[in-house]
Amino acid sequence: MTRWPAAVSLGLCATLAQAQGTVYKCPGPPVLYTDQLSAQEARDRGCRTIEGAPITVIQGNRPRVPAVAPAGSRPADSRVDPTAQRARDSDARRILGDELRREEERLGALQKDYNNGEPERRGDERNYQRYIDRVAEMKAAIVRKEADIAALKRELAKLPQ
């Protein structure tokens, strides 16, 4: 029976010795204190050993995350009247339709100026590279306008009829 307390105290001493292993202070913008490096790694990083100074680790509190309701759920008293929702939908459809029509007109004007990749040269384009750059800008503008039109059509398709 006398061996049991001796074994327990020997185990505790081993645990404390392991916990109090060599601690290194490594330089850098975030100064690093660690006991996870080997002696060679510590030398390579330029770390110094810390001896005789006890190290205290303080566990911080985790920030609390506020409870957020799912995106699709609303309280029952905040429901929208069906007639008001239909009015909103029709307004959105009208606004998107007007914007789509304007964008299609702008695309038509851009394509007319682009002239299938051969727009008219301007007087300030004596340098051929300026002409090529303007043609490339026109092509990019047409591609952006087509993407805008496709996005508007997708938005219109999402709205109820």
Name the phi and psi angles at 35, rounded to 5: -120, 15
User: pLDDT for 112-141, tens place per residue?
Assistant: 999 998 898 888 888 899 999 999 999 999
CB atoms within 10 A of CB 42: 19
Nearest in space to 48 (alpha carbons), one of 62, 32, 61, 64: 32
User: pLDDT for 36-59, tens place per residue?
Assistant: 888 888 888 888 888 766 667 677
What's the predicted TM-score (pTM) here? Answer: 0.50
Please tell me whether residue 32 adopts helix, strand or coil conformation: strand
Q: pLDDT-based confidence at 9, cuts 50/70/90?
A: very low
